[in-house]
A and B are shown apart, each in its own frame.
Chain A
Amino acid sequence: GQNIDQPTEMTATEGAIVQINCTYQTSGFNGLFWYQQHAGEAPTFLSYNVLDGLEEKGRFSSFLSRSKGYSYLLLKELQMKDSASYLCAVVDSNYQLIWGAGTKLIIKP
């Protein structure tokens, strides 16, 4: 079967750094997306990884290890507006997105 695991909820402090992990077991792998979703809104694209290593984009970075079936999203200099759910999604062998349940990130002042 296909399975993507993320922590359900995390809490962090404004200005700090937080790492959200994602592990996956899927039928084939054609890349991994991270999306941000604020409550009641649509998911918005954050990053895409298909090769091992770290991709940095401003305050957000995403890491992938295909051999370990593992990715993480790193958020630096946290701001209150970063409070949202963060969804990990893997592109399977049929080029369809398999979604994790999402991690709700709560930022405290």
Chain B
Amino acid sequence: DTEVTQTPKHLVMGMTNKKSLKCEQHMGHRAMYWYKQKAKKPPELMFVYSYEKLSINESVPSRFSPECPNSSLLNLHLHALQPEDSALYLCASSQGSSDINEQFFGPGTRLTVL
């Protein structure tokens, strides 16, 4: 299994809703990432988990809350989002985060905040 899966594929939510994005990989990778990508822009790193511990938080607002329940799963909990948070949210994984490793990306969740 060489893929990263993400659910849901599309999500529409209001500013008062609470929702979660899910990411899963079964490649034995020890590093997992959340990126946010706006149209025609490169991916922006949000969080990095290394060995199930949060190693990087790129000054992301607290309305985004990551969680890594185990080495294969990564969640992103969303609460009180703003319309400008609408974007493609990409999950990626790699063998490690502290050396050179190709990142494998999931298909993304297209999020729309009304």
Contacts and interface: CB of A to CB of B under 8 A. Distances in A.
A binds B: yes
B42 A45 contact: no
Contacts of A50: 100
Interface string B6-37: 00000000000000000000000000000000
A67 interface: no
A46 to B, nearest CB: 10
Interface residues of A, number: 22
A95 B100 contact: yes
Contact of A101 (B41, B88, B90, B104): B41
A89 B48 CA distance: 17
A102 to B, nearest CB: 6
Instruction: Say what secondary structure dominates the interface of chain A.
Output: loop
A41 B108 contact: yes
Contact of B42 (A30, A91, A101, A104): A101
B42 A87 contact: yes
Given A42-B108, A43-B105, A100 B100 contact: no
B56 interface: yes
B39 to A, nearest CB: 9
B53 interface: no
Nearest to B102: A45
Contact of B100 (A30, A41, A101): A30
Contacts of B56: 96
